[in-house]
Amino acid sequence: MKRKNEIEQELDQKEFENDIGKDLAQQYRKLNIEEKLREDANKYVVGVLYFTSTLVFFEVLWWLLSSILGPITLGILEAFFETMTPFMHVVFLIMAISSAITWKSPITYILKLTPNGWYD
Q: Is the pLDDT of residue 13 over 80?
A: yes
In this structure, what is the dihedral angle of CA atoms 67, 68, 74, 79, given to the nearest 10 degrees?
Answer: -40
Backbone φ/ψ region at 103: left (φ over 0), alpha (ψ -120 to 50), beta = left
The span from the CA of 2 to the CA of 8, in Å, is 10
Q: Note the pLDDT tens digit of each residue in 79-115.
A: 888 899 999 999 999 999 999 999 888 888 888 887 7
| pTM of the full structure | 0.65
Q: Residue 56: its pLDDT value, please?
A: 96
